[in-house]
Amino acid sequence: MKKCYCGSNQAFEECCQAIINGTAKANTSEALMRSRYTAFVIADINYLMNSHHKSTRPTKERKSILKWTKSVNWISLNIISTKSGDENDTEGWVEFKAVFTENNQIQDIHENSYFVKENNTWYYKSGDHK
């Protein structure tokens, strides 16, 4: 079994891959956060764009985001906290730290991400870097 990149200890195929390929839905903001991290790891730019809310979607940066995510080595995702974002909510927050190496330097992204749910689908809307 290949474990999922998001650190859930579940099989990749049953966890984030199912959400990314559309055979399963992200039922919570945390599940969407985990699937987006995994999409960065596997450089699935289509999923990253589609799971980003249309009002803040960085379509002009699509090529540079893809180039960057392919240039780094993703190490781990740590979910620090969640607020709301459950199946019955319409918004949620996930604080996380994603660790990666870039140019042989260990770095991280520490963010409190804001998610919204529209038409029963979760979207990443914005994030505050810590």
pLDDT value, residue 32: 98
pLDDT value, residue 55: 97
Q: Where do runs of H (alpha helix) occur along 1-130?
A: 16-20, 29-41, 45-50, 62-71
pLDDT value, residue 1: 81
- Domain-embedded: residue 125: yes
Q: If you ran DSSP here, which 8-state letter would residue 69 be given?
A: H
pTM: 0.96
- Cβ neighbour number for residue 100 with a 10 Å cutoff: 19
Write the CATH number for 88. Answer: 3.10.450.50
pLDDT value, residue 41: 97
- Domain-embedded: residue 7: no
Range(s) of the domain holding residue 95: 12-129
pLDDT tens, position by position, 65-111 = 999 999 999 999 999 999 999 999 999 999 999 999 999 999 999 99
- Please give the tally of structural domains in the chain: 1
- Domain-embedded: residue 105: yes
- Domain-embedded: residue 1: no
pLDDT-derived band of residue 130, with 50, 70 and 90 as boundaries?
confident
pLDDT tens, position by position, 4-59 = 999 999 999 999 999 999 999 999 999 999 999 999 999 999 999 999 999 999 99
- Domain-embedded: residue 5: no
Judged against a pLDDT cut of 90, whether residue 125 lies above it is answered with yes
**Strands of 1-130, DSSP E:** 73-84, 91-102, 105-118, 121-129
- Domain-embedded: residue 6: no
Higher local confidence (pLDDT), 35 or 2: 35
